[in-house]
Structure 1
């Protein structure tokens, strides 16, 4: 019996083409709640950087909680914090120094805001794809508050330029433009575990929907996993089920196929 459902945002709930949540997905979320299933977001985004369509779903009261920064900051709908684990400041300094030297651009993700150090053409293209635009600030603002995640704009395979000199980081991807950098013991599974402990739910009672490389580890920590039809072959291979494309009513059709609604 499924008691909880976890949803990635970009490419899963929110279309890369329209930057919106489809009407069918919205209705599926309502139907899941009506069936007594708790709903949670599980995203690499910061809470302060949720796309407006998702903010509206949260305002409607559809979600019981959020796993943000790929599991580093998790909280319930009433604001109870379940997990709060920023990056080690020494690793932040290592990566920031390399960005300051011009080796790559970074997006700094903090509770109150996220910002890029330079809006290069690569950064601009990525922002257009996800439909958001971060602040552009100097790197001295990194030290204003703890950093939960860094998005490092390097090509796949080039992560060693920063990771080899860090103490305790992991990196994951949901696109080729950049990688998400988090603590080595972090990730969506760590956030989901905190949520499940709080609500008294077992992993086998959960379903997770995703489309990116950062969702593969999430698929491994729940009983039922669903990759969107727009996911890569690697992500699809990691899931127990493959849904239609996000733009082809993928969420709603998968929920019906699984007998959840």
Structure 2
């Protein structure tokens, strides 16, 4: 029977330490597709970023930007940013000298900050970062993500209002959408998929929203304990052939 698989990327399709795609994972994805199953990403990464991964693995569907974007066969069904009014409130009220920030206003691995302090405080360079003192966040048409130089101990310093957040790294709060289930439900409605045929794989707390009781939920061996507690099945770690082993266990490949 055809199943509909939704895979998180980081720590699920990739190994936690190296960010590589194990050969067994590539083989499992390829075999699932060959056998006629539907395979999609379900990631917090932005659409353009996730699309690169999808092409690498031969996947034609993606739920990206934490559920705020859906792409099928190269066609973007929708791609929305965070609630803009709340982003403006948050960025207006952050103490920018204490907690410099960078915003991602476009569907690309690019962010802009108004102060060089951001690059001094934050170590990661995954996104291209431009310092533009004239950047006016009140005039952009969308904000997909906000990166704030902040530790977990300083979380209460950040006026989030209704905005969700995860931790990009120990020195960066990442304000981004965390409702992957929204994108999955959009695909479910479009293809008239039964709940019993949906299988989700994840490892982090941004996967929690798609670990719904009506879907089959597989937590990686390296998953957060809270996610494992919500799972239907716990497989091996991502770097120990976890995806391949689970798919073999249930006879999907």
- Could you report, residue by residue, the CA deviation over 1:174-207 in whole angstroms, capped at 9, with x for unpaired residues? 7655444346xx6111111112112221232111
Match of 2:64 in 1: 68
Match of 1:88 in 2: 83
For the 8 Å contact 2:42–2:66, the answer to whether it is kept is yes
Q: Are residues 1:220 and 2:212 paired?
A: yes
Compared with structure 1, are the counterparts of its residues 217 and 87 closer, same or farther at alpha carbon in structure 2 (3 Å cutoff)?
same
Mapped partners of 1:54, 1:120: distance in 2: 33
- For the aligned residues, what is the CA RMSD? 2.7
Match of 1:25 in 2: 25
Structure 2 gaps of 5+ residues are none
How far residue 35 of structure 1 moved from its aligned partner, in angstroms, is 1.7
Mapped partners of 1:229, 1:133: distance in 2: 28
Match of 1:256 in 2: 248
Kindly name which structure, 1 or 2, has the bigger radius of gyration based on alpha carbons: 2
Mapped partners of 2:147, 2:96: distance in 1: 16
- Could you report, residue by residue, the CA deviation over 1:198-241 in whole angstroms, capped at 9, with x for unpaired residues? 22212321111111101111111652111111112112112111
The number of residue pairs the alignment matches comes to 246
Q: Are residues 1:181 and 2:175 paired?
A: yes
Structure 1 gaps of 5+ residues are none
Compared with structure 1, are the counterparts of its residues 111 and 4 closer, same or farther at alpha carbon in structure 2 (3 Å cutoff)?
farther
TM-score (norm. length: structure 2):
0.83
Match of 2:10 in 1: 10
Match of 2:199 in 1: 207
Match of 1:42 in 2: 42
Compared with structure 1, are the counterparts of its residues 157 and 238 closer, same or farther at alpha carbon in structure 2 (3 Å cutoff)?
farther
Match of 1:238 in 2: 230
How far residue 258 of structure 1 moved from its aligned partner, in angstroms, is 2.1
For the 8 Å contact 2:2–2:38, the answer to whether it is kept is no
